[in-house]
Amino acid sequence: MLPQIARAGAEGRIATYQVCDWKTPLPADVLLGRHYPGDGVIDFASLTDAVEATGYAGDIEVEIFNQQIWDTPYAEVVARTAAGFASAVAPHLAASVTV
């Protein structure tokens, strides 16, 4: 996957960096099996390094498709998303991030 990120960056094809996490085993409906950053198995250090190495300096979007999370009170989702991003993704960014 890292070579594909490098190639996409070299070709100017990275429009956004979306993050979420996955737990294993993957559920039958993989699309709805996404989790808060840091709650699963994704290696955000290597992925974030690879994306930044392409020169990408745009937005980072947390994208979580998970019915259980959608059913959680909004304020809790926001707090857990921010905390997960701050601990799992932000430490690997070259620039400081305010969450």
pLDDT at 98: 65
pLDDT in tens, 63-87: 999 999 999 999 999 999 999 999 9
Reported confidence tier of residue 8, pLDDT bands at 50, 70, 90:
very high
Residue 96 has pLDDT above 90, yes or no: no
> Residue 59: is it exposed, middle or buried by C-beta count within 10 angstroms (0-12/13-18/19+)?
exposed
Q: What is the C-alpha separation between 64 and 45, in angstroms, rounded?
A: 19
For 39-55, how does the pLDDT look when each residue is reduced to its tens digit (9 = 90+)? Answer: 999 999 999 999 999 99
Share of the chain above pLDDT 90, in %: 93
pLDDT at residue 89, as a whole number: 97
Would you list the domain boundaries of the chain?
A: 2-92
Say what the pTM is. 0.89
